[in-house]
Structure 1
Amino acid sequence: MTRSPAPAPKPQRGRPRDPERSRRILEAAQRHFNEHGLERASVDAIAADAGVSKMTVYSNFGSKEGLFQAVVRDRTAAVVADFPGAGTLDPGQPEKVLLAIGARFLALARGDALGALRSAYGVAGTQPEACRAFYKDGPERANGELAAYLRRAHLAGTLKVRNPLQAADLFLSMFLGSGHIRGMLKLDMPDTRENRALLREAVRVFMAAYGA
């Protein structure tokens, strides 16, 4: 019995996504979401700002909510991209490592993370998937990386840390005080001298509590 030839594959509709065009849309959306919030941001205005049609925005991201989630994922990835990985850090020099991690986290808390945080807080309760993704890929990842390092330092005998996740949370929380709140409220931010003083004191307090 002769087999029938396999049917030819159906041609795919549409054109492949243009990474540069998607980048323009995400950057424009971030500006509008930061300024107006999810509810008041206009897809028409975002499309015009990005130099594309409204239909292009919808074909790439599905909806305004889908675009918002994409912006949150994009900003979260940018925020944590340079956060030090636990495996690259020397467990024999915890004070030096904590100064480096604290400086990076403080820079994020004072700068790149603020826009993503404002966007996520603005839709808390109405966009649980976006908020969950932001938390998992941002704060939870940073806390987990630091906890992994603290475990290694504990095993090396340079720190005494019974609960690494709790200790990591305590350390990073020291950078989320009044200066961070001022940033969230778009008020005057602490200057470089204040940030350096906070960093040194946070590391001193942590080492006093957990030093071997």
Structure 2
Amino acid sequence: MSSLIDAILSASYLGIFLIVFAETGLLVGFFLPGDSLLIAAGLLAAGGKLNLGGVMAAVVAGGIIGCSAGYWIGHRFGPAVFSNQNSRFFKPEYVAQAEKFFVRYGALAVILARFVPIVRTLVPTLAGVSRMPFALFTLYNIIGAVLWGVGLTALAYYLGQLIPDLDKYILLIVAVVLVVSVIPIVLKFMQARRGAAKE
């Protein structure tokens, strides 16, 4: 975790922006430290090593622009990727399923995906593939980026000021956040498995 802190301090706000952009906009960015980055940056801001407003601005801007890039990647290349009926992972019917999903859960999917690792990397591209209206996507994208970028960073900043030397426990805090974030995915997966077993 010390390497993450060192990286944040050396790259500063531009580095934060680029990491968030890559994690939310590029499919290869799912391995990047989204939540842990925000928590660490918020704690560093509480310690006076970074400016809280600068961190929030970098995260929100990176999140909005990154998700927009992910949307257009899906919009541009999705039809070609999902055109093969014999494909195991990219069948055309998956696009229809995605379209129904975003019609029904569009706002929640785009907004809440921000708080779930890996999912926040995939949802923008799937929204583009399913041709979710870009104006609606942009609205939800902005709301989600602000809630995630400002909320999580501000929470870490507040706790950092409230509890002395909290930066020593960054690893534990990140682990708790990851577990809480993944719980909904695990529950949904288990529910789907039970439904498939009944069928």
Q: TM-score, normalised by structure 1?
A: 0.37
| Structure with more of its chain in helix, by fraction | 2
Q: TM-score, normalised by structure 2?
A: 0.39
